[in-house]
Chain A
Amino acid sequence: MKKALLTALALSLISGLAMADRLDDIKKNGVLRAAVFDSNPPFGFLDGKTQKINGLDVEYAEAIAKKIGVKLELVPTNPANRIPLLASGKADLVAANFTITDERAKQVDFSQPYFATGARFIAKKGALKTAEQLSGLRVGVDKGTTQEILLRDKYPKTTVVAYDDTPLAFAALRNGNVQAISQDDAKLIALLAQAPDKTKYEVSPFALSREYEGVGLPKGETRLVALVNETLVQLEKSGEARKIYDRWFGPKTKAPLARDFKIGDKTE
């Protein structure tokens, strides 16, 4: 009798676990845990004035929490920890300049893109006008980035040298160890704005690729994915997405960048 009761209890527990998905858990706990960058302006960074993490990605995470009707808890992350945080259940979603790739899509689910960048180059003025000139050049990239993978696959005659971060790659460019460096255009513009000898360099007129950033979600949480997508579409419709963009990349910002991608646009 006792055994039968225990079995029934265990069975109901197991079925209960299988039924409730992450969205229910978030609603039950009243908290949405979003992994964001804390040192990657303007996507996610610690604001010196308010001592809080702020940025474009953070505003999207706030909008999603508001839509669900729960509090937002920010989990600071770096590029390498984004997938482990989702896989281990320490975060419900990742809004951290997360480029959508097929390899990553095997491990996590993505929302539709809410931001697009192009990978461009910084080189000495006039040195790099077309993509054909890349052959035979030494190009510096950040380790583990999509630029590193893409350049090696598409331009086998280009020597790719990977560094730990973009400032180090830029140091190698200024030393002459590489003739160009590649990164997202938004990051390159911000980097060049700070360089003391910025007049010697320029951002390439052509883009290496188009990349799309989406919200990363745990694998198989279909209701959560649908809700995030719905939120993104609404933000675009209401004009809120444009306002968020302009706060970080608009004409009045330090590194202005024209907005050429809207949520729901066709991807290449």
Chain B
Amino acid sequence: MTPPLWLGQTWLAPKYLGALFSGLLLTAWLAFLVCLLATLLGVVLTAMTESRYLGLRSAARFFISVHRNTPLMVQVLLWYFGVPNLLPEEAMLWLNTPHTLALPLGLEPAWPSYEFLSAWISLSLYSASFIAGELASGLRAVSHGQREAARALGLRPWQELRHVILPQALAYVRQPLIGQYTGAIKNTSLTMAIGVAELSYRSRQVESETLLTFQAFAVATALYLLLILASQWFGHSQKPIWGASR
């Protein structure tokens, strides 16, 4: 079946579908690394906000406030176009030259481009500030009586956290975290502004080469939907860690 005249009468050639698919892989890889780093940073930030030291608490609050209350687009542009101005020319030269890192088993990971690196950093910092918020509210959702009961049983602080607080808190944050990861996947599309060849970048590229506007963006939409539904399905299918009760 050929599309009607107003859609250009052709579907996308395999070459262009391949370009979109390579964009999907990069989107998935970038999103995975962002979720990973953002979660680690989010845990650190949450620990800092719960700290007894005012300095740590203020630093974490300042970081979260800056990243939650500025547009992500501006942060992405700042990391890619702005930060290199602060670095000496040699550092930028080093960052922009491919390096090889020989790992055991003959693995030689490709050196990430500066586009990818700055996209990873800016998206991770942004997501981390939101994940920290979700984690903190998860901890707060565990009622105070639970902590008192744990202490009354003579549990040490670590045992209290490991066996009483975290299993409940993690059950509370599961849904919001899946929401944050979904957001992180969608946010990767902004990095097309700094030349990361992810799915949105590829769809615009295919559009301008073929002029099959509807086809290019429709395929991109479908691929995003597949990726996000698959990741949500994965998130829901995992067994709760540490045997949470919900």
Query: Which A positions have Cβ atoms within 8 angstroms of B?
Result: 83, 87, 103-104, 106-107, 138, 140, 143-145, 148-149, 159, 161-164, 168, 171-172, 175-177
Contact = CB atoms under 8 A, between A and B. Distances in A.
Nearest to A176: B92
Instruction: Give the interface size bracket for B toward A.
Output: 20 to 34
Nearest to A84: B213
Contacts of A103: 209-211
Contacts of B211: 83, 103-104, 106-107
Contacts of A143: 201, 204-205, 208
Interface centre among A104, A143, A148 (most CB of B within 10 A): A143
10 contacts: A87-B6, A103-B211, A106-B8, A144-B207, A144-B208, A161-B115, A172-B80, A175-B85, A176-B84, A177-B80
Judged by DSSP, the binding face of B is helix
A138 B92 CA distance: 14
Interface of B: 6, 8, 80-81, 84-85, 89, 92-93, 96, 113-115, 193-195, 201, 204-205, 207-211
A175 B205 contact: no
Interface centre among B6, B84, B113, B195 (most CB of A within 10 A): B195
Contacts of A107: 8, 211
Contacts of B93: 176
A172 B113 CA distance: 13
Nearest to A79: B208
Nearest to A83: B211
Given A161-B115, A162-B201, A168 B81 contact: yes
Nearest to A164: B193
B209 A177 contact: no
Given A138-B96, A171-B81, A172-B81, A177 B114 contact: yes
Contacts of B208: 143-145, 148-149
Nearest to B81: A171
Nearest to A138: B96
A171 B113 CA distance: 17
A87 B8 CA distance: 11
Nearest to A175: B84
A143 B211 CA distance: 14
A104 B193 CA distance: 25
B84 A177 contact: yes
| Cβ-closest 6 pairs across A and B | A144-B208, A161-B195, A175-B84, A176-B92, A171-B81, A177-B114
Contacts of B80: 172, 177
Given A144-B204, A168-B81, A171-B81, A163 B195 contact: yes
Given A103-B211, A177-B114, A140 B195 contact: yes
B25 to A, nearest CB: 17
Given A83-B211, A171-B81, A177 B201 contact: no
Given A162-B195, A176-B96, A177-B96, 14 more contacts: A103-B211, A104-B211, A107-B211, A143-B205, A148-B205, A148-B208, A161-B195, A163-B194, A172-B81, A172-B195, A175-B92, A176-B84, A176-B92, A177-B114
A216 to B, nearest CB: 12
Contact of B205 (A83, A87, A144, A159): A144
A177 B115 contact: yes
A103 B85 CA distance: 40
Given A103-B210, A107-B8, A168-B81, A176 B89 contact: yes
A159 B211 CA distance: 23
Contacts of A164: 193
B193 to A, nearest CB: 6
A163 B93 CA distance: 20
Contacts of B115: 161, 177
A109 to B, nearest CB: 14
Contacts of B194: 163
A239 B8 CA distance: 40
A201 to B, nearest CB: 15
Contacts of A106: 8, 211
Contacts of A149: 208-209
Contacts of A172: 80-81, 195
B18 to A, nearest CB: 13
